[in-house]
Amino acid sequence: MKTKKDSENNHLTPKYKIWLETKDGEGILGDGKWLLLKAIEEHGSLMAATESLGISYRNTWNRLKKIEKQLGYTLIEKTRGGKDGGKTILTEKGINLVKSFDKFHASFDVLINDAFKTFLSDITKSI
């Protein structure tokens, strides 16, 4: 049976971001860039991906090139427009990076949600 204490905190939800950085503290890949790569994969276009996320195309292109340089491999392949328009696709390594980050993130989702349940239980206990 749920008590009033149980429902007092039902409006709370955990929020967090995950990112990878170099030993020097330079960011490489995080939730935002991960979502961008997923959007590129979904839309087949960098322009469509940036529009769907409401971010700047120019800054995004530069960020992707920086990630590729940091990782040492190409994440995207771009073909210029023409009669059928241009496209941007993830390379095999780009697809693998997205899938690997999906699994990495899902693991943290489970840990965070379990820890949050414990947190809620702890703060609703009577003293």
Q: Is the pLDDT of residue 83 over 70?
A: no
Domain limits of the chain? Answer: 28-120
How far CA 68 is from CA of 5, 19, 78, 80, 104, in Å, comes to: 49, 16, 14, 19, 20
Is residue 115 classed as helix, strand or coil in its secondary structure? helix
pTM of the model: 0.81
Task: Measure the CA–CA gap between 98 and 34, rounded to whole angstroms.
Answer: 6
Say which residue the tokens 């190409």 belong to: 74
Per residue in 33-82, pLDDT (tens digit) is 999 999 999 999 999 999 999 999 888 988 999 999 999 999 999 887 76
Determine the topology of domain 28-120 in CATH: Arc Repressor Mutant, subunit A (1.10.10)
Interatomic CA distance for residues 58 and 121, integer angstroms: 46
**Per-residue pLDDT for 115 more than 90?**
yes
**Banded model confidence at residue 3, pLDDT cuts 50, 70, 90:** low
The closest of 10, 8, 28, 5 to 18, measured between CA atoms, is 28
